[in-house]
Amino acid sequence: MRRFYFDKNDMHGDMIRISGNDVNHIKNVLRMNIGERVVANDKEVNDYYCVIEDMDSTQVLLRVESYRKCAAELKTKLYLFQALPKQDKMELIVQKSVELGVHEIIPMATSRCVVKLDDKRQEKRLLRWQSIAESAAKQSARGIIPRVNNIMKFNDAIAYAKSLEYSIIPYEHAKGMDESRQCMDEAAKCSSVGIFIGPEGGFEESEIEHAFMQGIKPVSLGDRILRTETAGMCVLSILMFKLS
Ligand code: SAH
């Protein structure tokens, strides 16, 4: 069934109002009719199974027939701290990490990031990444639309991760897969986990030390060097598998 997201204040009793771009999509692209059924999600893990009751050029009105909590959310909230990669790789990272169950993505500026974005370009990129997150959430039937946070400096990102229960920082010079396995097992027991991924040039040793001092565990992902866009997906896949 087609899935749409709505704002909580657009629900009154058993009626839900869909507005914005989705109206054109429902009416003119999907050519849906009154009486057809859709799933409306309140972006807070609640799925409402609805029938289209009415529509015009500005809104689609849905009547709720039944309710089910969305089963698609992982029991641990995964926060991907991704150092800004080159070109448009971030778009792929946003899309794939949403499919794999990420809760929030925090683009991060680290000392070896090549990409520098001025305020105006940052704003444009953030809007684009958020819209990619929304499409990916719809496509993969997520119960929330994962947020793409503002770009944070490395130190601010580390401070932000303080509010999480556990965090890891994959580092290609970290040793020992047994330790990595233990860290992943530990992470899967927590309610929120941060995953820090470096840019193409990797993290500076001083960044790893700083993270370590703040209680963030350096982990190995094996004896091969993964590209920045692969490393995050690797960790998300491992955790998604343990958490599903
Ligand atoms: N420039 C580095 C590689 C950076 S890879 C080099 O060539 O040596 C980009 C990021 O992916 C790293 O900062 C790290 O967070 C992660 N990563 C890649 N391969 C990894 C591995 N084998 N173990 C742990 N982390 C890895």
Predicted local distance difference test score (pLDDT) of residue 117: 85
Predicted local distance difference test score (pLDDT) of residue 175: 87
Cα 113 to middle of ligand 1, angstroms: 13
DSSP 226: P
- The strand pair at 77-83 and 192-197 is best described as parallel
For residue 208, the SS3 value is helix
Cα 81 to middle of ligand 1, angstroms: 14
Predicted local distance difference test score (pLDDT) of residue 53: 98
Cα 228 to middle of ligand 1, angstroms: 7
Q: How many CB atoms lie within 10 A of CB 238?
A: 17
Which of 226, 235, 236, 237 to mutate for ligand 1's pocket (most ligand atoms within 8 Å of CB)?
226
Cα 20 to Cα 3, 24, 26: the distances in Å are 15, 8, 11
Predicted local distance difference test score (pLDDT) of residue 116: 84
Predicted local distance difference test score (pLDDT) of residue 115: 87
Predicted local distance difference test score (pLDDT) of residue 118: 86
Q: Return the ligand 1 atom nearest residue 112 CA.
A: 1
Which of 115, 197, 225 to mutate for ligand 1's pocket (most ligand atoms within 8 Å of CB)?
225
Which residue's entry shows tokens 């089963």? 71
Do 132 and 167 touch, CB atoms closer than 8 A? Answer: no
Residue nearest atom 1 in ligand 1 by C-alpha distance? 201
Going from the first residue of the chain to its last (244 residues), give the mean pLDDT of each consecutive group of 10, the final group possibly shorter: 94 96 95 97 96 96 97 96 96 98 98 90 95 96 97 98 98 94 97 98 97 97 97 98 92
